[in-house]
Structure 1
Amino acid sequence: MKTYHTLLYYCYSHIDQAEQFAADHLQFCKSLGLVGRIIVADEGLNGTVSGTPAACNAYMNAVHADPRFEKIDFKIDEVDEPSFLKMHCRYKSEIVHSGLRDPKIIDPTRETGKYLEPREFLEMKDREDVVVLDVRSNYEHHVGRFKNAVTLDIENFREFPEKINELAKYKDKKILTYCTGGIKCEKASALLLQEGFQDVYQLHGGIIKYGKEAGGKDFEGKCYVFDNRLTVDVNNINPTTVSICYNCGTTTSRMVNCANPECNEHVTQCEACGEKMQGCCSDLCMSHPRKRPYDGTGYYVKIPQPVNFEKINLRKRKISANPTLHS
């Protein structure tokens, strides 16, 4: 029997005095002994928390008791150890960074794609009049994605609006959007509707719920998650591995964060290259003076840093040295 639970959830619901709510909610989570990461914004909540089953049940009951959050659909994973090391609850401008902050333009509480439950998604996804659209970032869909899904070349979800024109050729199709837990699809599907797409759907509960309720059929590879597990299995029907090692090209689903904190790139890296490169994605990163010690996991406690030109230029130099890294 697993000792701990990990909860994944989100909710678009207006929160008054959201910054104070975040501070109070942090103390509440700590009082239950939870660890995790929660983002609070005026538009709602986005969280992953981990703790004992009793603590997680107490948390879900308390959140559901608030009328603003009574409809939250918690995805529950049983885990051997807590999925985080600390508890963070922070106020931000959005619960998922999209750049679509004006509720007069995009408001998931008003208009969004039609929900498809996992088994409905499974039944529809292979039809000829359907396009399955992955709205996640490159590092997420590189390690796992639905069979025949359309993926976008984006480093962050905030780049999604820039890719709408590339999808225009699918306007006569039914668009089935999906992401990890559903949160990105709320805004992605709303934006597609605004841009003239007629039949837009979203996988309710995302890949995680699909794995639990539909067995994960035809999801190839693993699902990236935003905690120290990095990836999880979702397909117990026809599993396969689709990702390759960033360094040597061998098949692997093992994902790490680069040991150079100025890079922190999410990459798939086999164990042999992990040892050889000491958790770094390139020779450039191996020589960085702030390189973190490698413990074999490739997971590091995130240290908030402003976006800087060193990281941007480092990435350009690595791609220039090996243009196949992101193919």
Structure 2
Amino acid sequence: MGIPGCRGREVAVLTGSDSSLSRRRCPLPLRRPLVVTVRALPLRTSLVCPGRLEALCSQQWRKQQRVARFCAASGLPSSEGYDGGQPADEDFLVVNFYHFVPIQSPEAEVSNHLMFLQGRDIHGRIYINEQGINAQYSGPREDALAYAKWLRGDDRFSGILVQVSPATGGHAFPRLKLRYKPSLVQLEGGASHLPLVDPAKRATPLPPSEWRRRLQGAKGEALGGGEAGSQDRKCLLLDVRNGYEWDIGHFRGAQRPNVDCFRSTTFGQSESADSDPLAGIDKENTDVLMYCTSGIRCDVYSTILREKGFQNLFTLSGGVSHYLKSEGPAEWLGNLFVFDSRLSLPPAAYNPESEDRGEEKAIPQDGNSTFASCYICRSRVAELRHRNCANLDCNFLFLCCSRCVEKMKGCCCSDCTAASRLRPALVGSQRYSKWHTYRDSEA
């Protein structure tokens, strides 16, 4: 059955109840694993009389000093293996990391993590299985960094790259989902059969500085498979993300991926050059430079390409987020799409110095009709940030200019403006709440 007003169209969903982004046509798993939810106890609030104000300020100062001493003693997050710095004025952080390593008893591992997180204010998605861990979560600085430090105290995870960025307005995730998951990333057919724990079966990681050097040394046609300094060696830049992520930011020379859901990615598995940038390339003499947000999608998909005969695979170590922290916006256009309530982050969120040096541009130009363009009128948008359609039964994730937001009442098409479950058009970076919030207000 089609979706009202959006019949036959794939729909991206990013709701307030779950910050995971999916496509309606992506097949659902036959059964859902048990989700273990850890909720922080509500904080008690009370009126503060003037006589207690000085004491409370002193307590707050002492707490800040304890956090500072904790970070200094732990080497967080500036010590080796941590990335993102310590945003001085942010109370909440968003932390991302993943690691492929054999885990003999993943269910017991989940229990250990749950025990450590008891009493800590952590929201996010933390998945564990026999192949390792994949985590994205938010929390107050002390809790967020304590969990990362605790994990790195285990020899199996001592070398993981922990990436830290500032949260905006508290938690970036609605709740904590910490569970066993058969596949650490969603992929057609699953990923449990892939040799993820063997580094030799994955793409060769390149540090950000080397990645930048290669991009700058392979301009123009070389990034699309042309020559790169030699008649025999070629180079192709492959964006292993979704098309809507590309629409707000990408590396110069990267082709827009014809993908709306990563689990349906088929790069290197077809002969159609229109939908597959790897179709027909010389597998032995072409260097494929792969990138994604944090690196995990490239690591997973590169094992598939290895099996398909691609010999020269390279991935951006730590993904775009690590690159922006290290190199700033050099060779990068726009913002970075993130899978949490923030949705979009400028390079300055990872590297504030790049903004001070004037390296960022408001809306850069790349000549492509879909980049930074309004989904409705195709004009250039003023803000590189997606929004959900105001029609609850559509919820399509799209870019929209301010004029079309007002004209279409926050909807993606005229049919949706007449929908029965219509929410108000949101302003700025606001996120939609549960439907009953709007239903009850109308009543």
Provide TM-score, normalisation by structure 1: 0.83
User: Does the 8 A contact of 1:131 with 1:150 survive in 2?
Assistant: no
Look up the equivalent residue of 1:178 and give its one-letter code: Y
In 2, the alpha carbon distance for the partners of 1:299 and 1:286 equals 19
- Match of residue 373, structure 2, among 244, 247, 257: 244
**Partner SS for 1:97:** coil
Structure-1 residue corresponding to 2:121: 33
Instruction: Give, as a single letter, the amino acid of the residue that structure 2 aligns with 1:279.
Output: G
Partner of 2:207: 117
The equivalent position to 2:257 in structure 1, one of 144, 152, 173, is 152
Is the Cα–Cα contact under 8 Å of residues 183 and 191 in structure 2 kept in the other structure? no
Q: How many residues align?
A: 303
The question of whether the paired residues in 1 share the 8 Å contact of 2:235 and 2:287 is answered with yes
Distance in 2, Cα, partners of 1:233 & 1:119 = 20
Of residues 276, 281, 284 in structure 1, which corresponds to 2:407?
Answer: 276
Per the alignment, in what secondary structure is the counterpart of residue 164 of structure 1?
A: coil
Determine which of 278, 302, 310 is the counterpart of 1:197: 310
Q: Deviations over 1:221-269 (max 9, x none)?
A: 1110011110101274354444111112221212112233443322112
In structure 1, the partner of 2:187 is 98
| 1:310 counterpart residue number | none
Checking the alignment, whether the CA contact within 8 Å between 2:124 and 2:138 is kept in structure 1 is yes
Match of 1:168 in 2: 279
Q: Per the alignment, in what secondary structure is the counterpart of residue 258 of structure 2? A: coil
The separation in 2 between residues aligned to 1:238 and 1:201, in whole angstroms, is: 27
- Please state how far the C-alpha of 1:140 moved relative to its aligned partner: 0.9
The structure-2 alpha-carbon separation of the partners of 1:42 and 1:291, relative to structure 1 and needing over 3 Å to count, comes to farther
Summarize deviations over 1:174-198 as a string: whole Å, max 9, x none.
Answer: 1110000001000122222221112
Q: Could you tell me which of 250, 258, 264 is aligned with 2:395?
A: 264
CA contact (8 A) 2:194 2:303 kept: no
3-state secondary structure, aligned to 1:190: helix
1:148: Cα distance to partner? 0.6
RMSD after superposition: 2.6
Distance (Å, rounded) in 2 between the aligned partners of 1:218 and 1:80: 26
For the structure 1 residues 120 and 88, does the alpha-carbon distance in structure 2 shift closer, same or farther, using more than 3 Å as the test?
same
Kindly indicate whether the alpha-carbon contact (under 8 Å) linking 1:176 and 1:201 is maintained by their aligned counterparts in 2.
Answer: yes
Correspondence 1:51 to 2:180:
no
Offset at residue 13 of structure 1 (A): 2.4
1:247-326 correspondence runs (5 A): 247-252=376-381, 253-296=384-427, 297=429, 299-300=431-432
Aligned-partner Cα distance in 2 for 1:211–1:271? 28
Distance 2:415 2:309 in 1: 45
Q: CA shift at 1:132, angstroms?
A: 1.1
- Cα deviation, 1:261-320, whole Å, max 9, x if unaligned, reads 4433221122332333333222233333334444323634699xxxxxxxxxxxxxxxxx
Once the two structures are TM-superposed, the CA of residue 45 in structure 1 deviates from its matched residue by: 2.0
Change (3 A) 1:21 1:200: same
SS in 2 for 1:10: strand
- Give the superposition deviation at 1:114: 0.4
Asked whether 1:216 is paired with 2:329, we answer: yes
**Aligned partners of 1:257 and 1:266 also within 8 Å:** yes
Q: Structure 2 vs 1, CA of residues 176 and 10 (structure 1 numbering), >3 Å: closer, same or farther?
A: same
Deviates more, 1:177-186 or 1:63-72: 63-72
- 2:164 aligned residue: 76
CA distance in 2, matches of 1:298, 1:80: 11
Equivalent residue of 2:266, what SS? helix
> Given the superposition, is the C-alpha separation of residues 215 and 299 from structure 1 closer, same or farther in structure 2, using an over 3 Å criterion?
same
Q: Secondary structure at the match of 1:9?
A: strand
Deviates more, 1:183-192 or 1:156-165: 156-165
Preserved CA contact (<8 Å) 1:261 1:290: yes
Alignment-derived partner of residue 242 in structure 2: 137
What are the ranges of 5 or more consecutive residues in structure 1 without an aligned counterpart? 304-327
**C-alpha contact 1:3 1:52 (8 A) present in aligned 2:** yes
Asked whether the 8 Å contact 1:131–1:175 carries over to 2, the reply is yes
Instruction: Determine whether 1:107 maps to 2:181.
Output: no
Q: What is the CA deviation profile of residues 8-33 of structure 1, one whole-angstrom value per residue up to 9, with x for unaligned ones?
A: 11122233443564466356445211
Deviation at 1:162, TM superposition (A): 5.5
Partner of 2:92: 4
| DSSP-derived class of the 1:169 partner | coil
Higher relative contact order (CA 8 A, sep 6+): 2
**Aligned pair 1:207/2:320, yes or no?**
yes
- Counterpart CA distance in 2 for 1:287 and 1:9 is 43
Contact 1:85 1:301 in 2 (8 A): no
State the distance in 1 between where 2:434 and 2:109 align. Answer: 23
Partner AA of 2:385 in structure 1:
R
Question: Percent sequence identity over matched residues?
Answer: 29
Query: Greater shift after overlay, 222-231 or 76-85?
Result: 76-85
Task: Determine which structure has more spread, i.e. the larger CA radius of gyration.
Answer: 2
- Please, which runs of 5 or more residues in structure 2 have no aligned partner? 1-88, 219-227, 229-233, 271-275, 349-353, 365-370, 436-443
Residue 65, structure 1, aligned to residue 153, structure 2: yes
